[in-house]
Amino acid sequence: MSYEIVDADCIACGLCAKNCPAGAVSGKIKVHFEIDPTLCDECGTCFEYCPKAAILDPKGKRRPPGKKKKRRKSSIDPSVCAGCQTCFLNCPQEAISFIRKKGLLGNGYCQVDAKLCIGCGICTEFCITGAVKLE
């Protein structure tokens, strides 16, 4: 089971679709939205952004209204980053940039733009050195 929208509680505001890094949520504002389980990577972004807590998590539970979790963001330790750019190449929000700088392991390192990062954690799955953390 993946995330699921409870139609009776959904106000069709579109925040879930706007913020879904996988493009798994579709619909029309003020009409109806749904989550395609074949596209959903279960990052929980829709769950956190829903203002009415109208989305069930994979365990069938919903976030209590008004009890939003603190949004996690990715960060990269440049002293551990190998400069392989796999996080940069796989970030769905293009929130990671590559900084060219000689003297580090490789020819540079990656860094996260906190304003663009939605905390999906996909970058952590691709990091070969453990330099990327979700905090």
Task: Say if 38 falls within a structural domain.
Answer: yes
Domain that holds residue 39: 4-56
Question: pTM (2 decimals)?
Answer: 0.56
CATH label of the domain that carries residue 28: 3.30.70.20
Q: Whats the size of the chain, residue-wise?
A: 135
99 in Cβ contact with 67 (< 8 Å): no
pLDDT at 10: 93
pLDDT at 98: 94
CA 82 to chain centre: 23
pLDDT at 105: 54
CA–CA gap between residue 51 and residue 16 (Å, rounded) = 9
pLDDT along the chain (135 residues), means of 10: 92 89 92 95 87 92 72 87 92 89 72 86 89 89
In the block, which residue shows the tokens 């293009």? 94
Give 62's DSSP letter.
Answer: B
